[in-house]
Amino acid sequence: MRYDYKLTYKDFLDAQRLFRKHSWKSALSYYVFIWGLPVLGFLAAVPWLAQLLGAQAQWVYAWGGFAVLGLWCAIAIPLTRIYTLRRCWKRLLPDTVKKSIRSEIPVEIEMNDEQLISALPGRSEGRFFWSGLIDYAEDEELALVFIKKKMFLFIPRRAMDHAGWNQLRSHFAQPRIPS
């Protein structure tokens, strides 16, 4: 069975979210580095902000270096995350498509008894034997088919009909021998 569809930036973000749900290490890393460090950084910057508002306590001067470093973490980490996600998305786009988060990526996926074939027309094609695929995750938005531990194909719900989803699920429902 062969299906043609277009991936969007929202699909890409949903795939990142599902990967965090699927991998506890990824979720831990995300919450510690993307949420925890900026919050701690902002808390470290509170004395410096208090000094700007007129506090004259001696402890405010002792925390000056930590405050600047904390404020930098509170601002730089979220901005870096946004930049990195957008850059990763734009690297997926073919050269013929305008590099924007509003762009869509045309994708072709084909499934047969032996392999899963994923193609970005004019850019690349990947052929993966069913026995070589290591994992599968699915939610209400999309499915992830893991090629390697941290490398996956993401397939949105709108990409296939009910028969296609049943065929995809059936390949992962069978007992698997990890490679």
Question: Are residues 100 and 169 located together in one domain of the fold?
Answer: yes
Question: Are residues 146 and 102 located together in one domain of the fold?
Answer: yes
pLDDT in tens, 92-116: 887 777 888 888 989 999 999 899 9
Residues 6+ apart with CB under 8 A from 5: 106, 107, 109, 156, 158, 159, 160
Q: Which residues span the domain enclosing 133?
A: 2-7+96-173
Q: Which of 92, 125, 151 is the last residue before a domain boundary?
A: 92
Number of separate domains in the chain: 2
Question: Are residues 120 and 145 located together in one domain of the fold?
Answer: yes
Sheet strand arrangement including 2-7: 2-7, 105-111, 115-120, 124-129
The whole-angstrom separation of Cα 23 and Cα 30 is 11
This prediction's pTM:
0.85
Phi-psi region of 122 (alpha: psi -120 to 50; beta: other; left: phi over 0): left
pLDDT in tens, 7-21: 999 999 999 999 999
